[in-house]
Amino acid sequence: MATPNRTRTAKDPLYGKPKAAAYKVRATANADSRTPMGKPEVRIFVSYSHVDAVARQKLETHLAPLLKDGVKTWFDGRMDPGDALDASISKALREAHVMIALLSPEYISSRYCQLEYDRAMGRRARGTIRVVGVVVRPCSWKETKAAGFKLLPEDGRTVQDWRSADAAYLNVAQGIGKLVKTLRAGMAVSLAKPSAHPPKSRTPVKTPSASPGTKSPARSPVKAVRRKSAPKITGVVPGRTALPKPPRKPEVAGRSNSKSG
């Protein structure tokens, strides 16, 4: 999406090295990203030069069956008036599963388009997006990073090399359709995998009873707590020794207490 006479600053979201955490996109689909048909939604970001606006519209027309099947395309023309240009483009690219780059001489020479392409290739290296180049007009794409990847239409032939433009864009749409099926298959596998941290069960675990002839598991020793008995009541003060009783005096035989007269 080339924007003429634009200057880039270090504050632009598409400028410089992105943060990995900010551009990490989950490949799995959740309930919010499912189509009414129950299929995972696939989002496609279309990167193009405004000179190739007719080619973008032609591609959109041939992608109509996919758009009815839960595939969404995004390009700068879907922005509302007043939206921040860099922030909206950066957000759409961050949330996309696929980026389609319409390769042409103007696209390759546009610094802004190359920023989008390089950003998408960085995400591709982390496995969070698929990048597809579509050669809409003859250009030196073999001298770019796109040379190492499979392009559309088939074998990287330009649209003009086909018997008709419709035949070329039909081939592109079929290739995108195959990629969408591959992505959805991967999403289905991710949803089918169990969670790495399943919730803990609060149900108490019952100890299996010992079968006949087997020893019951040893129980942990429990100290019995004995209740202290109350002390017996005696005449002795606790902590002191009882004194011995004094001996009785012997009585004298024949001694009378009466007086003799």
Sign of CA dihedral 14, 17, 21, 23: positive
Asked, for residue 66, whether it belongs to a domain, the answer is yes
CA dihedral 181, 182, 184, 188 (to 10 degrees): 130
Residues 175 and 156 sit within 8 Å (Cβ to Cβ): no
Residues 71 and 44 sit within 8 Å (Cβ to Cβ): yes
Tally of domains within the chain:
1
Asked, for residue 208, whether it belongs to a domain, the answer is no
Provide the β-strand partners of residue 46: 100
Alpha helices in the chain (DSSP H): 53-62, 64-67, 85-95, 105-109, 111-125, 165-192
Sign of CA dihedral 78, 122, 42, 68: positive
The gap between the terminal CA atoms of the chain, to the nearest Å, is 159
Cβ within 8 Å of residue 86, ≥6 positions away? 12, 13, 14
Asked, for residue 14, whether it belongs to a domain, the answer is no
CA–CA dist 108, 104 (Å, integer): 6
Cβ within 8 Å of residue 176, ≥6 positions away? 44, 63, 66, 98, 100, 132, 152
pTM summary value: 0.61
Residues 49 and 104 sit within 8 Å (Cβ to Cβ): yes
Look at residues 52, 28, 55 and name the one whose alpha carbon lies nearest to residue 40. 28
Asked, for residue 71, whether it belongs to a domain, the answer is yes
Asked, for residue 251, whether it belongs to a domain, the answer is no
pLDDT at residue 133 in the model: 95
| pLDDT (tens place) for every residue of the chain, 261 residues total | 544 444 343 343 333 333 333 333 344 344 346 655 678 899 999 999 999 999 999 999 999 999 999 999 998 877 777 666 688 888 999 999 999 999 999 999 999 899 999 999 999 999 999 999 999 999 999 999 898 899 999 988 999 899 999 999 999 999 999 999 999 998 877 766 665 555 565 565 565 555 555 555 555 555 555 555 555 555 555 555 555 666 666 665 555 554 544
Domain residue limits at 168: 31-192
Asked, for residue 2, whether it belongs to a domain, the answer is no
- Which amino acid belongs to residue 152? L
Burial class (CB in 10 A: 0-12, 13-18, 19+), 204: exposed
Asked, for residue 51, whether it belongs to a domain, the answer is yes
For residue 103, the domain's CATH number is 3.40.50.10140
CA–CA dist 116, 91 (Å, integer): 12
Asked, for residue 186, whether it belongs to a domain, the answer is yes
